[in-house]
Amino acid sequence: MVYEIKIYGNESLRTLAEPVVEIDAEILQILEDMVETMHEANGVGLAAPQVGINKRLFVIDIGDGIIRKVINPEIIELSDVIESNEEGCLSVPGIYKPVKRSVHIKIKYTNENGKEVVEEADDLLGRAFQHEYDHLEAILFIDKISPVAKRMVTKKLQLLKKESTKI
Ligand SMILES: [Zn+2]
């Protein structure tokens, strides 16, 4: 099943996600459906709050042959080395701006088999982990862009918000 992706202005994007207590059939189905939704939207990542689900779950597929299903992630380490790179988000369509992030991340999570995974990642994967983790904390990439970039997208953001909160 493909979910409807919540757009900027939807309150689910600004709600702190709750930990997953038990990995049951429902959680596995949500993860499956999130992967399907991400692929249909040609995204490299999708977090549960983006489809209106208030749980600490996200999926990532950067095209390296591994579809990551991430449950209750914890960031263990972020490098001091920062890099700025352009980002976008399925919940903020049409806006792409540079975001400064750590080049390297060490992250711990439970996978769909209930196994604890510790993964170290950099470049695109490291950035995707940080971007998706932020969603669980109710943070969007546009919160982290420069003030100048922010001013450039203010109008677009207002339009997205107007559209997504329209009844
Ligand atoms: Zn996003």
Alpha-carbon dihedral sign for residues 93, 140, 120, 98:
positive
Domains in the chain and their CATH numbers? 11-164 (3.90.45.10)
pLDDT of the chain along its 167 residues, tens only?
A: 999 999 999 999 999 999 999 999 999 999 999 999 999 999 999 999 999 999 999 999 999 999 999 999 999 999 999 999 999 999 999 999 999 999 999 999 999 999 999 999 999 999 999 999 999 999 999 999 999 999 999 999 999 999 998 86
| Ion ligand 1 nearby residues (CB, 5 A) | 89
Contact yes or no for 12/6 (Cβ under 8 A): yes
CA of 117 to the centre of ligand 1 (A): 22
32 is annotated as an active-site residue? no
CA of 148 to the centre of ligand 1 (A): 21
